[in-house]
Every structure is written in C-alpha cells, then in structure tokens.
Amino acid sequence: MLPMVSRFWARAFRGLYRLLGFADPLIRAVWRRRGIGNVVELRVASRRSGRPRSLMLGLLHVGDELYLGHPNGESSWTRDLDAAPMAQLVLHGLPPLDFRPHLLPAGPERSAVIGQTGQHPFPGNLVYRLARRHVLAIGRYYRLEPLTGTGREPGS
C-alpha cells in the first residue's frame, strides 16, 4: 500500500482534534480518576514561551520501545517536541518519566509504529486503520529515549 496524503483525512483529523480539544477537561478528569487505555500526559516546554505545556496523547508500544505521534503531520505539540531537548511523560498512577524524543524518518521502524495504532481506544483505532495510507504519508512519530535516573523507566 503506497502512502498517499488525503485532503479528506487531513480535514477529518483537524476536526477530530478540535472536538478532542473541547472534550479535554472531561478526558483529563476520567484519566486522573481511573486511566483511559493507552492515554498518557505529555509535558513539554513551549518552543515560543518556554512555559510547560500539557497534552493527553496515545502512547504506542513496539517491543520494549515507547512512541508518540501525530497522524496528520506537524502540529503545535510536535513542533514543541522538535525544539525541546527533553520532555516528560506521565502514565496514569506512576511517577513522571523524563525522555529525549527522536523523530522517526520514513522506514521500517516508523511503519511498524504506525502499524500499532490499533492500540488506541475505540474509535481512534478504527479511524487510524481507515486513514492508514494518509498516516503513512504524513504522520509524525517519535521514539522516546528514557533518561536514566529521572523517574520510572519502561520495564521497571
């Protein structure tokens, strides 16, 4: 299947993320109380103001590695992550994990990560599956390298 940018999916993802922005307070309240699937909190410094920014994202696992990504290419948080030497990940009920982000180039690792987007809770898993060609063409994904001695590391 050849990657292909889709105007339909570009608009659909923008609308979906706008809707999630409105639902953010409710999502955070439920997440704090009991967790939601693979949803984690990303804390990263804003590239413009330097102030901390917090977002709820879906964490992907491939083997022992951890990944974050955006299916619709660059976004404000991916640009912040690109500019940050490190960021922090908060998994429900665990201490924060400091990490260094590594943007994935097109290739087998990135494709394998995109293949794992079924880990997202419904309906996200279905949307990602339907938009797979678009996500392969434009999605922006990062491997998270835990910084040792700064909180919980995978497998501990």
Is the predicted pLDDT of residue 2 greater than 70, yes or no? no
The domain locations on the chain are 7-146
- pLDDT tens digits, 43-80: 999 999 999 999 999 999 999 999 999 999 999 999 99
- pLDDT tens digits, 18-42: 999 999 999 999 999 999 989 999 9
Q: How far is 92 from 39, CA to CA, in rounded Å?
A: 8
Superfamily of domain 7-146: Electron Transport, Fmn-binding Protein; Chain A (2.30.110.10)
Highest mean pLDDT (candidates 20-29, 118-127, 145-154): 20-29
